[in-house]
Amino acid sequence: MKGTDSLQISYTYSKSTLDGVTFYSTYSGTIERRTTTVSRDRYAAQSEYRGVHVAAVQVPAERRLPRHQRRAAARIGRRRSGRRPEHVGDRPAGLPQFIGRGNVESQVAIINAFRTARGLSAIDAGLLTIDPVIDLDLRLTKVIQLADRRRFEIFLEVYNLTNHTTLYAGNSTLVSSSFGIRTSALDARQTQWGARFVF
């Protein structure tokens, strides 16, 4: 495209279904699948990312430069749906192994009925919200052309340029007072620079 060295845009839609349990120590789920024709653990898997958007563009930063110098800027933007939190140990009947998608209203109702029966407070549906992963990376490169096809490159790279916070993990025990509260986040903005001699 005019004004760019390269432009790539892609979208991936995927679906991943889990028919069973995530580890063999969950004997009840493993045995149930062997003895029945329908597994209550057939749900969308935790590794499922429904939608992934990626856009990458590389453009010359300046058109009019001294003869032996070039500059370029590359940007990569990504947005994907977040991962489901996992709930295995004490989940009541009817609650999927991975929650946060599908009939979230029903999932919240099952969780709150389970907690209320044990004298615990109800949770807010917002705790089941899955945060999307949003990244914007930037790379700036300056190339100094030398003799005999040799060149010297200086570059600056910034990851998560907008410093978007993506929360994940958290307590997955339904009877915990901190159930569903996120305890971790993906990396904040990171910057690095370097130089390379090509010969």
Q: What is the pTM of this model?
A: 0.63
Q: What pLDDT is recorded for position 122?
A: 93
| Residue bearing the bigger pLDDT, 145 or 46 | 145
Has residue 36 got a pLDDT over 60? no
Q: What pLDDT is recorded for position 180?
A: 85
pLDDT digits (tens, 9 = 90+) for 68-85: 556 677 778 777 766 555
Separation CA 87–CA 97 (nearest Å): 5
pLDDT digits (tens, 9 = 90+) for 50-68: 778 888 888 775 544 455 5
Q: What pLDDT is recorded for position 33?
A: 46
